A and B are shown apart, each in its own frame.
Chain A
Amino acid sequence: MSKLLEIRGLRARIAGGREVLKGIDLDVSPGEVHAIMGPNGAGKSTLSSVLAGKPGYEVTEGTVRYLGHDLLTMPADERAREGVFLAFQYPVEIPGVNNMYFLRAALNAGRRQRGQAELDAQQFLKSVRERLKLLDIGDDLLRRAVNVGFSGGEKKRNEIFQMAMLEPRLAILDETDSGLDIDALRAVSDGVNRLRDPARAIVMITHYQRLLDYIVPDRVHVLADGRIVASGDKTFAAELERTGYAHLVDAA
């Protein structure tokens, strides 16, 4: 079975600054869910940023292949249209840009790339309604500007809502569970679980084992000081909860 994502010896630094990723190896196959845990500042968000193509980072070594293509040479918007989705740890507020307008532009950009017909306003609305219900999001959020004035939890839900609309092949969720209340965590987890599909893979960055009770991962990795220092199956997270990271970091 060919890999969806294949990261080999990836080293990256902040542009003009210090090295944050110090040799990452990671394979993700279609249908899999991976969890990445690890101490604050280890480089988890940096890894997701590099995968999404955020400016400001320099890859100095290594390769990333996505569906067999060299991901790192693709511009960020093209990666997104090819099915890479990053749910931001800190979703950005965009004053003046209406959430629905934005989402429809994004959705249709992806459809154009895949040679599909654009959705008209009605089809789009139908699709929106279905997913809103699943995620228990009020439609007033959609009438507002992108993330502007959203509560922390609303922003996270909006990320997952966007994911549900865009139906990516590879979803990277950066601490989507942080800041969610118990009901929201369940709603978001349900949303993610519904998206689980043999053709699709999910990489979740999280600090909390609880998320992994809802979205059961195939693999759990510990990223510390820019490297993946340990990996295990779904039981590994519970073990980490007891042992902490210190012994892994020291060993690495």
Chain B
Amino acid sequence: MPIWSMRLEAGGAMLMTDDSAPFREGFDQMLATAAEPVWLTFRRRAEMDRFALLGFPTRRQEAWRFTDLEPLTAAAPLPMAAPLPMAMADDLPSPASLALWLLPVTTHRLVLANGHVVPSLSAGPPLPDGVWLASVAETLRRRPDLLEGAFGDEDGALAALNAALFTDGVVLALEPGVTLETPVEVIHHTTAAGAHARLHIALGAGSRATVVETAIGPVGDGAAAGPVTSWGNTVGVVTLGADAVLTHLHIQAEGPAACHTAAVRAVLADRARYDACAVITGARLSRRDMAVVLAGDEAEFRLYGAYLLDGGQEATLSVRADHLGLGCRTDEVVKGVLAGASHGVFLGTLAVAPGADGADARQVNRNLLLSPTARVDTKPELEILADDVKCAHGATVGSLDEAALFYLQARGIDPETARRMLVEAFAAEVLDAAGLPTALAELAHRHLWRWLDGRDS
């Protein structure tokens, strides 16, 4: 029995709606056939009910004020009914398209097609002792203990829907004191209208790992304006023990008919460090929600990122950092490059809990508008409830420096190249500042160059 939500429509009439309805049949079928632990079935039901209650987020909600899910929810008929039980041959990325996105070094690679790990495309050297890296499906079979505690109440409707419908995903768990030198490479290839995958990362005390998550899909013909035909909806759960260090690069490069939604929540123990970097250029519509809790003393969170958009693209990066421990540090630098009629949204909240003294938090969002029809909404916020804190935040929106453009041209560089040089410099700065390991930095820059090459306007 679903829980019905009431929604006030513009005309004032009350309509009974339940956004979960299109998913119910497939959901019931999935539960009937899946051989899963009982706790998980309960979890799925609870999350589906939560989604039914919340419905798809709308712009009437403050956190979604600037993000319009319309291109996704208007896709009629809602094509995302039942997640398929496995990946089909048609869902797989071609070797050529996959090759574009691979790290130039040996990795532990897991490729997901529409939310399922594809063993034939996944590979890597033997895992060192103390490292568990496997699909969610396999983990549920062999080490369900690694996941049971990792499911909690999901934040928000889309994460709830993910927890109800997820088909597979990746689990990386490191025992204390283990360093995984070889990067873990997770590639999400999405062609279906509804691929729900999970990424669980748990690093024990003092352990270290590097994870690259790349979202790709059919490239299409470039113009981001038409209806959304694919939707990937992922949830990441990051747990860092004391002194653990996670480097997490996220590359988002789906084609112009894609919708991409992702929620990442992280909890950091004493002196844990979470180094995140996000480079977002893909999808017609995307949203990445990060919620980082610096629970231990002297925990550190860094996010360096860029969204580069063109045509009719819209991307939202929403980041909340909660400082609970003593002497925690957050450093966020997010840059936006907006061309065409694109729309970028940055929502950043730095929260410092009562007593969380010594917090040092900085949040910067800088945007470059390349066309008069491009837009940006930026909302950096502070919620400071402790006394002894250092917090800085700021946002800027500007256009290319005319004086610099002329200077380059006065040396013989054509206007197109000059513009490209300045845009590249603007975006590359934040990627360099991220201090990524060489191979990851190379991938991030390659992604930036591909974006610059792709828009010869």
Using CB atoms and an 8 Å cutoff, list the residues of chain A in contact with chain B: 52-55, 75-77, 80-81, 86, 88, 91-97, 102-103, 105-107, 109-110, 113, 145-146, 162, 166
A96 B406 Cβ-Cβ under 8 A: no
**Binary per-residue interface labels of chain B (399-418) against chain A in the complex, 1 for a CB within 8 Å, 0 otherwise:** 00111101111111111011
- Chain B residues with CB under 8 Å of A53's CB are 409-410
Q: How many CB-defined contacts (below 8 Å) exist between A and B?
A: 79
Check A75–B409 contact: CB distance below 8 A. yes
Q: Which residues of B contact A106 (CB under 8 A)?
A: 408, 411-413
Q: How far is the CA of A30 from the CA of B402 in the complex (A)?
A: 32
Ordered by A's residue number, 14 sampled pairs between the chains whose C-beta atoms are within 8 Å are A53-B409, A77-B410, A77-B415, A80-B409, A80-B412, A94-B401, A94-B408, A94-B422, A96-B422, A96-B428, A97-B421, A102-B411, A103-B411, A105-B421
Q: Is B127 an interface residue (CB 8 A)?
A: no
In contact, B412 and A110 (Cβ under 8 angstroms): yes
Which of B412, B413, B417 has the most A CB atoms < 10 Å from its CB? B412
Q: How far is the CB of A85 from chain B (nearest CB, A)?
A: 8
Contact-residue size bin, chain B (C-beta under 8 Å from the other chain): 20 to 34
C-alpha spacing A170/B378, complex, angstroms: 47
B223 at the interface (CB under 8 A from A): no
Question: Once bound together, how far apart are the Cα atoms of A145 and B404, in whole Å?
Answer: 12
- Closest approach, in angstroms, between the C-beta of B408 and any C-beta of chain A? 7
Which residues from chain B contact A145 at a C-beta distance below 8 Å? 425
* Docked complex Cα distance between A51 and B331 (Å): 46
Residues of B within 8 A of A166 (CB): 411-412
Q: How far is the CA of A103 from the CA of B414 in the complex (A)?
A: 13
Q: Determine the distance from Cα of A107 to Cα of B418 in the docked complex, in whole angstroms.
A: 14
Check A102 against B412 for contact (C-beta < 8 Å). Answer: no
Q: How far is the CA of A24 from the CA of B401 in the complex (A)?
A: 30
Q: Given contacts A77-B409, A88-B407, A92-B403, is CB(A97)–CB(B414) below 8 Å?
A: no
* CB pair B426 A96 closer than 8 Å: yes
Known: A102-B421, A105-B417, A105-B421. A94 touches B404 (CB 8 A): yes
Contact flags B103-134 to A (C-beta < 8 A → 1, else 0): 00000000000000000000000000000000
- In this assembly, does B25 line the interface, its C-beta being within 8 Å of a C-beta of chain A? no
Residue in B closest to A77 when the chains form the complex, CB atoms: B409
In Å, the complex CA distance between A53 and B424 comes to: 25
Interface 1/0s, chain B 414-446, versus A by CB < 8 A?
110110011011101100000000000000000
Complex: A75 Cα to B412 Cα, angstroms: 10
- Within the complex, what minimum Cβ distance (angstroms) separates B403 from chain A? 5
Which chain B positions have C-beta within 8 A of A54?
406, 410
On whether A109 and B414 interact (CB within 8 A), knowing A94-B422, A96-B429, A97-B422, the answer reads yes
Q: Which residues of A contact B406 (CB under 8 A)?
A: 54-55, 76, 92
Expressed in whole angstroms, the minimum distance between the Cβ of A216 and any Cβ of chain B is 27
Contacts of A77 in B (CB 8 A): 409-410, 412-415, 418
The complex places the Cα of A88 from the Cα of B421 at a distance, in Å, of 20
Which residues of A lie under 8 Å from residue B409 when comparing CB positions?
Answer: 53, 75-77, 80
Q: How far is the CB of B401 from chain A (nearest CB, A)?
A: 8
Cα distance A146–B271 when bound, in Å? Answer: 38
* Distance to closest chain B CB from A66 (angstroms): 15
A76 to chain B: which residues have CB within 8 Å? Answer: 406, 409-410
Please determine whether A97 and B413 come into contact, CB atoms closer than 8 angstroms. no
